[in-house]
Amino acid sequence: VQLVESGGGSVQAGGSLTLSCAASEYTYSANCMGWFRQAPGKEREGVAAIHQRSGGTFYAGSVKGRFTISRNNAEYMVYLHMNSLKPEDTAMYYCATGPSRYGSSCLLSPPLYSTWGQGTQVTVS
């Protein structure tokens, strides 16, 4: 198993959660680590990504200012800190690895990402 997500749960609107993604050393060496989500009946969408070498971060417009992606290089961990949660944030959240584009950019397009975790459920009521 190369990516394992944890930290999901149920929270009231306006609350916070932090998701964690534990990666193997090899998987963590990918250029981009991203968080994605998929709600029932909807397509998987990119939420946030971080470029591993530069530390540059990238966010979907719907979460910018509320979510923060971070990493711990020593422990091969990537986090998604989610604040001001809304019911529309309810989804299964996945972390994934992928290549960078245009130098040090990470795109939030799911087809670009090749290794995926099993997901962790976030429910906001």
Tell me, what's the pLDDT at 120? 98
What would the pLDDT profile of 68-112 be if each residue is shown by its tens digit?
999 998 899 999 999 999 999 999 999 999 988 888 899 999 999
Which token pair is 125?
Answer: 């009521």
For residue 1, pLDDT beyond 70? no
**Cα–Cα separations (whole angstroms), residue 123 to 12, 52, 76, 87, 105:** 8, 29, 26, 7, 30
In angstroms, rounded to a whole number, what is the distance separating the alpha carbons of residues 45 and 42?
9
Tell me, what's the pLDDT at 104? 87
What would the pLDDT profile of 27-67 be if each residue is shown by its tens digit?
888 899 999 999 999 999 999 999 998 999 999 999 999 99
Interval 115-122 mean pLDDT: 97
In angstroms, rounded to a whole number, what is the distance separating the alpha carbons of residues 122 and 125?
10
In angstroms, rounded to a whole number, what is the distance separating the alpha carbons of residues 97 and 34?
6
Q: Do residues 19 and 34 touch, judged by C-beta distance below 8 A? A: no
Which token pair is 14?
Answer: 């306006």
For residue 114, pLDDT beyond 70? yes
Cβ neighbours around 57 below 10 Å, total: 15
> β-strands 9-11, 3-6: how paired?
unpaired
Give the CA-trace dihedral at 104, 68, 6, 22, to 10 degrees: 30
Q: Diameter of the chain by CA atoms?
A: 40
Interval 2-21 mean pLDDT: 97
Tell me, what's the pLDDT at 25? 83
Which token pair is 10?
Answer: 């149920």
